[in-house]
């Protein structure tokens, strides 16, 4: 069961540094095209940028970093690109898990893993088990993830655990009852959402959890995203007033 309630239910404690940052890493293809390189070159540099982002997140004290690596809609891409992305994922797991562990990072993967190769699933299972007790940063990779399916799965899990809730005359289901059934119930909701690559959309990422997240969009392409770019996003975050439905006066009074 989750230690975290929903932002639409209670009022989360907010801090200067966001506890949880969720990123849509977009723009690898355009980064490559600008250089007349194949798209794969952009994806390779994208993996480099992931390393940089993890390091920078640890340095500033972010507790949860969630990265959208492959959406449930990305299977629509040409088979060759999908296969290259799978290969990069496999290699990253092979090469990085030990380093993550050495740095005290807990690794979690969310998404429908059923479509991944057995070797990838194996590496995920051993990587998650190896790093399960680490506390410095929780790194979540969303792979074959879709926000809508996450909500549908949560409902299914809820009714499987509470069959009486489906009976006629049962009390109406409250939104916060689904929260512990979501794939990321181990994490608080994201405080800050970042999307690189210039598009201003959610693309079926964490639909439920982004209800009260501060949104930040940058034209930088993902391979160019670095510690300075993260600092700019964090500065923007610090300038926001998170009201969670209240008035500014109430927020200021609560701050004391």
Binding residues vs Mg ion (CB under 5 A): 26
Residues 178-217 that bind ligand IPE (CB under 6 A): 197, 199, 201, 203
26 given a catalytic annotation: yes
Among ligand IPE, Mg ion, none, the one that 69 touches (CB under a kind-dependent 5 to 8 A) is ligand IPE
CB of 81 to Mg ion, least distance (A): 11
* Residue 34 and residue 206 in contact, taking contact as beta carbons nearer than 8 Å: no
The C-alpha atoms of residue 208 and residue 87 are separated, in whole angstroms, by: 30
Beta bridge partners of 67: 23, 141
User: Could you give the angle at which helices 79-102 and 39-60 cross, rounded to 10 degrees?
Assistant: 30
Beta bridge partners of 71: 145
74 given a catalytic annotation: yes
Tally of helices (H runs) and strands (E runs) in the chain:
8, 6
The C-alpha atoms of residue 48 and residue 54 are separated, in whole angstroms, by: 10
Contacts of 76 (CB under 8 A, 6+ apart): none
CB of 198 to ligand IPE, least distance (A): 9
Q: Which is nearer to ligand IPE, 27 or 127 (CB)?
A: 27
Residues 24-83 that bind ligand IPE (CB under 6 A): 24-30, 68-71, 74
Is residue 137 a contact point for ligand IPE (CB under 6 A)? no
CB of 47 to Mg ion, least distance (A): 15
Q: Which is nearer to ligand IPE, 53 or 181 (CB)?
A: 53
Active site residues: 26, 74
Sites of contact with ligand IPE (CB under 6 A): 24-30, 68-71, 74, 85, 197, 199, 201, 203
């Amino acid at each position: 069961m989750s230690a975290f309630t929903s932002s639409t239910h209670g009022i989360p404690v907010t801090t200067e540094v966001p506890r949880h940052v969720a990123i849509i890493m977009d723009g690898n293809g355009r980064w490559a095209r600008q250089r007349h390189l194949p798209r794969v070159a952009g994806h390779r540099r994208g993996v480099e940028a992931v390393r940089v982002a993890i390091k920078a997140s640890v340095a500033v004290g972010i507790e949860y970093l969630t990265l959208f690596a492959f959406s449930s809609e990305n299977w629509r891409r040409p088979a060759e690109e999908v296969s290259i992305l799978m290969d990069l994922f496999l290699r990253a797991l092979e090469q990085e898990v030990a380093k993550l562990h050495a740095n005290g990072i807990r690794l979690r993967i969310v998404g429908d893993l059923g479509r991944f190769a057995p070797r990838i699933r194996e590496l995920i299972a051993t990587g998650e088990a190896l790093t399960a007790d680490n506390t410095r940063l929780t790194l979540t990779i969303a792979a074959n993830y879709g926000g809508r399916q996450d909500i549908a799965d949560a409902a299914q899990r809820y009714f499987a655990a509470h069959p009486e809730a489906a009976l006629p005359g049962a009390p109406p289901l409250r939104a916060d009852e689904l929260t512990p059934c979501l794939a990321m119930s181990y994490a608080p909701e994201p405080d800050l959402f970042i999307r690189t690559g210039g598009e201003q959309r959610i693309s079926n990422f964490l639909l439920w959890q982004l209800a009260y997240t501060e949104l930040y969009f940058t034209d930088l392409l993902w391979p160019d995203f670095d510690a300075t770019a993260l600092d700019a996003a964090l500065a923007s975050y610090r300038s926001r007033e998170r009201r969670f439905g209240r008035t500014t006066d109430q927020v200021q009074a609560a701050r004391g």
